[in-house]
Amino acid sequence: MDKLTCLTDTHLFRGQLSCGDDQDFDIIALAKRSEKLTFNKKYLQRGHVPLYYDTPFHEIRFTGTDELIPKGYDHLYAGLETTVMNFNEFCGSLIDQVINYFTEHINPDEKYLVLHSAGFDSRIMSLALMYINKKHPGFCDNFHFRCHQPEGPMFMEIMRRQGWNEKQYSLYEGPFENYYNIAREDLPLNGWQNYNQQMKFWNDIVPESQEKDWNLIIGLGGEVFKYIASYPTEKATLCGNRPLHLLLNHNPGHGEWEGLYLRWFKSLLMPFFSYDYLQLSTRVNPSWCKFNGETDSVRYGIVRRFIDIMGVDCLNIPYGKHSYSWNLNKTFNQRMKKAWLQSRFYQDHGHSVKVSDFTTNMYGFEAKIWGFMTVYDAIFQNR
């Protein structure tokens, strides 16, 4: 069974792309197989807002949510009735589902890299893995948990309290300037995507030449309860399941980053985006979803329940907010501009676009068009 089928049978994978009868998570691979490929020049217009399922190519689109969800889980699309469980039972059921997910999908003989912050999604994942490892000693011997600054002290305390071997977790010690090694012409992205999503903070332990030997685990999808609290009046337009709509609409991009991870690594595990987890999480009672500025009451409740289950307190460690320190200087911006002017994309389309400093807004137009340049050149360099 191919990687895409394995992934989409288990997870709601937002990043599936289609071109006629052909599908892929990798826009470059799909584009290279396409007989016809035309660039949508509207993407050259600053401020252009594409439709939800659009890509920069007329022939390629993101697969609709109603097309993604397989039979057996299609009730998710329409929505589910609110749970009849009480709050503690609900939190316990979510814990059970994460544990079941890892137990079912992890092969202890494989190698796993866990991207771990000091946030609550990460705490839930590592607590679930700790629980499994206690029940089945050696289950997580081939795991490595990796974090980056500025969340290091909190992450290290979480790992210590959970009792992991010191060789199984580490903090990335990158250079001061260009800490994440981004803006690389040789590392194509996966669509209309900020070039800062090239960021890697693990190559000292998992070199690029070895990434295909490792499976990646990420906590994407856990913030559904935060979104319910933060967007109480937003109407569901992507599907009839309002919590699921919020999850799809407010996670970064449209799945490009997950597709990029799949291009780099052997496989991608996302416990909070699995269909079985979503069947529980999207049935949450909205009145339980309160956001305190650090986390929501449901994820807080889940971590609290782990104290009762295992006697390990990962609750009273300050939450580490994501704050990326790019530290990009003028020389860096000049190198980016040179790469832009020498690109195939610039020769074909970019010469008509007025761009400013590529490093001023890491999430703006310049970041996206430079990132797409790497995609376009990877597709057309031998076409």
Ordered structural domains, the chain, with CATH: 74-310 (3.40.50.620)
Span 246-280, pLDDT tens digits: 999 998 888 899 999 999 999 999 999 999 999 99
Tokens in use for 160?
Answer: 């210590």
DSSP state at residue 164: -
* Residue closest to 73 by CA, chosen among 115, 16, 153, 12: 12
pLDDT of 2 higher than 80: no
The pLDDT score that the predictor gives to residue 4 is 52
The pLDDT score that the predictor gives to residue 150 is 87
| Choice between 245 and 13, residue whose per-residue pLDDT is larger | 245
Note if the bond before 153 is cis, omega within 30 degrees. Answer: no
pLDDT of 330 higher than 90: no
Note if the bond before 271 is cis, omega within 30 degrees. Answer: no
Residues 221, 257: Cα–Cα separation, whole Å: 13
Instruction: Evaluate whether 268 touches 218 at the Cβ level (below 8 Å).
Output: yes
The pLDDT score that the predictor gives to residue 327 is 83
Q: For the ranges 39-43, 81-85, 160-164, 360-364, which has the lowest average pLDDT?
A: 360-364
> Bridge partners of 11?
274
> Average pLDDT, whole number, for the chain?
93
> Bridge partners of 18?
23, 61
The pLDDT score that the predictor gives to residue 43 is 97
The pLDDT score that the predictor gives to residue 7 is 67
The pLDDT score that the predictor gives to residue 15 is 87
The pLDDT score that the predictor gives to residue 322 is 64
The pLDDT score that the predictor gives to residue 251 is 87
Which runs of consecutive H residues, i.e. helices, occur in 106-139?
A: 120-135
Query: Rounded to two decimals, what is the model's pTM?
Result: 0.94
Q: In b/e form, how buried is each residue of 195-215, taking b as 16+ CB within 10 angstroms?
A: bbbbbbbbeeebeeeebeebb
Torsion over CA: 57, 59, 60, 64 (sign): positive
Residues 247, 226: Cα–Cα separation, whole Å: 9
The pLDDT score that the predictor gives to residue 41 is 97
pLDDT of 65 higher than 60: yes
The pLDDT score that the predictor gives to residue 1 is 38
Span 101-121, pLDDT tens digits: 999 999 999 999 999 999 999
Confidence band of 381 (pLDDT split at 50, 70, 90): confident
Instruction: Evaluate whether 270 touches 221 at the Cβ level (below 8 Å).
Output: yes
Span 191-238, pLDDT tens digits: 999 999 999 999 999 999 999 999 999 999 999 999 999 999 999 999
Torsion over CA: 351, 352, 358, 364 (sign): negative
Confidence band of 6 (pLDDT split at 50, 70, 90): low
**What is the DSSP track for 300-322?**
HHHHHHHHHHHS---SSSPP---
